[in-house]
Amino acid sequence: MKPMSKGRYILRVAETAADLSAAQRLRWLCFLSQSGAAAGGASGAGEEAGLDADDHDARCTHILIEEQASGVLVACFRMLTLTGGADIGQSYSARYYNLAGLRGYDGRMAEIGRFCLHPEWHDPDILRLAWGGLARHVDDAGVGMLFGCSSFHGTAIEGYEDAFAMLRERHLAPKRWLPRVKAPQVFRFARALRARKPDPKRAMAAMPPLLRSYLLMGGWVSDHAVVDPEMNTLHVFTGLEIAAIPPVRAHLLRAVAS
């Protein structure tokens, strides 16, 4: 993928060990340093190292978004492109979800993981550029579905009830793709909150930015959230079929990518 820019920012593929270390430091800052997660948990790197690194990194393409003037890394994520659903077991998500339903998916897929925004940077152009980069990869690689784990901060359900109730009411995966339970600790929100009517404003305010974007484009989620104490998150499996993206939104994404 060639570098692309929007406003003050540039998106590019990590090319060196130093680039990867910068992404792992930002991931540590976002997921571990402020979370109270145990040192050396799922990342395999202790707090003193200041890195969130795992064995999945070597399989992925890592995307960096930097402020052009200063070179500060403001966002990053990693991508794993699969030839089809038969390869779904190679994904990071498959460690936490039973994805047997997706094995029959006939088309290229891309897993998006470890997406994080620097906590001191809130410019919406950063997320727009990230989606522009994804749009370019989708077109270049012929990807038919994006998927990954969308994380809520912390492992407590309190404060997220409306968000999960809205996911249950409006955004559950089609039955043929629905992930089943695999992780030892889960919150079955579709069952637990079936009688709750969500408050839309509170629900959307509690949604992680990336998940909010997925949902606005027609994305769907698992019927349960995985409780991940090592990363101090609750996460839901999230899928987005490219053909389901509304034409107007698809046009806007490709405009950023062009």
Q: Look at residue 47 and tell me whether its pLDDT is greater than 60.
A: no
Amino acid found at 26: L
What pLDDT does 34 receive? Answer: 62
Grade residue 41 by pLDDT with cuts at 50, 70 and 90. very low
Return all residues near 219 (Cβ < 8 A) that are at least 6 apart.
171, 211, 238, 239, 240
pLDDT in tens, 78-106: 999 999 999 999 999 999 999 999 999 99
Closest CA relative to residue 239, chosen from 139, 172, 165: 172
126 three-state secondary structure: helix
What pLDDT does 4 receive? Answer: 94
What pLDDT does 35 receive? Answer: 52
pLDDT in tens, 212-243: 999 999 999 999 999 999 888 999 999 999 99
pLDDT in tens, 147-171: 999 999 999 999 999 999 999 999 9
pLDDT in tens, 104-129: 999 999 999 999 999 999 999 999 99
